[in-house]
Amino acid sequence: MWCRDSGLTERGDPMADLQRLPLHDLHVEHGARMVPFAGWEMPVQFEGVMAEHLHTRAKAGLFDVSHMGQVLLKPRTDMATLAAEFEALMPVSVAALAEGRQRYGLLTNDQGGIRDDLMFANRGDHFYVVVNAGCKDADIAHLTAHLGDQVRPVTDRALLALQGPRAEDALAQLVPAVATMRFMDVLTADTLFGPLWISRSGYTGEDGFEISVPFGGAEGLARALLAMDEVAPIGLGARDSLRLEAGLCLYGHDIDEHTTPVEAGLTWAIQKSRRGGGFAGDARILRELSDGSERLRVGLLPEGRAPMREGVALFAADGTPVGTVTSGGFGPSVGAPVAMGYVAAAHAAVGTPLFGEVRGKRLPVTVAALPFIPASYKR
């Protein structure tokens, strides 16, 4: 048997020169299969992708996302000045974000492409930012070039995510205050695991939390959560299928420096106050906001059982090439293959019948609304 895109037989030592998570041994103890990802040795699965995915949607899943970049932005003078400087890098309102609240942001380049997507929170006297692992170094360099020594990478904290309908019950046993949080709230809690920086958000479409914890407290916190019946450890495999069903973009696949926020269907992240410009790439992004973009990110539902994965070419009924799949696989909660991709705007309406070329055969696929599974955030 020969694997097309993940070799069964390892050549050399693929784990050489990789960074290890602070919870590495805990993962191995729980039966994790570790794989290289973005320079880290990461747990791709524990019990199995399908079971972990369904467990997260039914109960609560614990994810180790410590490979992601945590950064503090501490104002040199005041928060308003820093917010204005940060806004020059993103088509997103920073100034209007209230203390104790978190928001989705996009670092753009001068061509209107996306350098990275991120989450940022106003924590009173500073901003707390979480960026993608693969972009971390470039982001910190970019932020530092514009914001100088206000940029302080966090190097002594793990990041855990607890996601699913039972996440609140579970975390509230350790931190009762989380029960009062709404979607995209943030708070700091002093616990026996150290000061936790908690946000009510995540990357699965489920209610849940992301928890920044000092290295010294990470294992204790993870063990306390995993000791609860409703909590199971979840790997990167299920993280990917969960976010795909939730219609959330994976940086480097569904969005990158050549896709704009408008093409990516992320205009909801651009507040009205920013639609006058004053950010990197504003000329193109504002033009696309008013005139539309040539292509759009869409959901895709393949008709049969064959998954359409990243790279599958898409065609209109008359054989014209119209786009490409950027993420795809099997959706365990949907019970069928699901995908996302970019198609020419004329073919982007929900319900448009297209064809995806899988191993030389053109198979029917329909443009579908995102998300595939409705979000269950606690608003």
Partner 1 sequence: MKYTEEHEWLRVEGDHVVVGITEHAATQLGDVVFVELPELETQVATGDEVVVIESVKAASDILAPVDGEVVEVNEELASNPGLVNEDPTGRAWFFKLKVEDLSVLDQFMDEDEYADLIG
DSSP state of 32: P
* Residue 5 touches partner 1, criterion: CB under 8 A: yes
Measured between its terminal Cα atoms, the distance across the chain in Å is 48
CA distances from 300 to 256, 261, 303, 316, 323 (A): 19, 19, 9, 13, 12
Query: How many of the chain's residues bind partner 1 (CB under 8 A)?
Result: 23
> What are the tokens at 140?
């910190």
CA angle 166, 238, 213 (to 5 degrees): 60
Distance between CA 108 and CA 115 in Å, rounded?
5
Task: Return the number of other C-beta atoms located less than 10 Å from residue 129's C-beta.
Answer: 24
Given the rule CB under 8 A, which of 2-10, 121-129, 164-172, 342-350 is the region that contacts partner 1?
2-10
Closest separation between CB of residue 310 and partner 1, Å? 11
Interaction between residue 221 and partner 1 (CB under 8 A) = no
Supply φ then ψ for residue 43, to 5 degrees. Answer: -75, 115
Instruction: Pick the closer one to partner 1 by CB: 187 or 306.
Output: 306
Question: Contact at 8 Å (CB) between 7 and 14?
Answer: no
CA distance 8 to 70: 33
Cβ burial, residue 325 (10 Å; 0-12/13-18/19+): buried
Q: Which of 202, 247, 337, 356 binds partner 1 (CB under 8 A)?
A: 337
Q: Which stretch binds partner 1 (CB under 8 A): 62-70, 91-99, 250-258, 326-334?
A: 326-334
Q: Is 209 in the site for partner 1 (CB under 8 A)?
A: no
In the complex with partner 1, the residue whose CB is nearer, 71 or 338, is 338
DSSP 206: S
User: Closer CB to partner 1, residue 305 or residue 379?
Assistant: 305
Q: Does 61 bind partner 1 (CB under 8 A)?
A: no
Q: Considering only residues 11, 272, 305, 379, which one is a binding residue for partner 1 as defined by CB under 8 A?
A: 305
Q: Which is nearer to partner 1, 316 or 363 (CB)?
A: 363
| Spatial separation of the C-alpha atoms in residues 73 and 76, rounded to whole Å | 9
Q: Which residue from 127, 193, 209, 330 is in contact with partner 1, where contact means CB under 8 A? A: 330
Q: How far is the CB of 203 from partner 1 (least distance, A)?
A: 17
Determine if 36 is a binding residue for partner 1 (CB under 8 A).
no
Write down the least CB distance from residue 329 to partner 1, Å: 6
Largest pairwise CA distance in the chain: 63
For partner 1, the closer of residues 225 and 236 by Cβ is: 236
1 binds partner 1 (CB under 8 A): yes
Q: Give SS3 for 246.
A: coil
C-alpha span between 375 and 367 (Å, rounded): 19
Rounded to the nearest whole angstrom, what is the least distance from the CB of residue 53 to partner 1 in the complex? 8
Nearer residue to partner 1 within complex by CB, 112 or 329: 329
Binding site for partner 1 (CB under 8 A): 1-6, 8, 44-45, 48-50, 237, 241, 305-307, 309, 329-330, 332, 337, 359
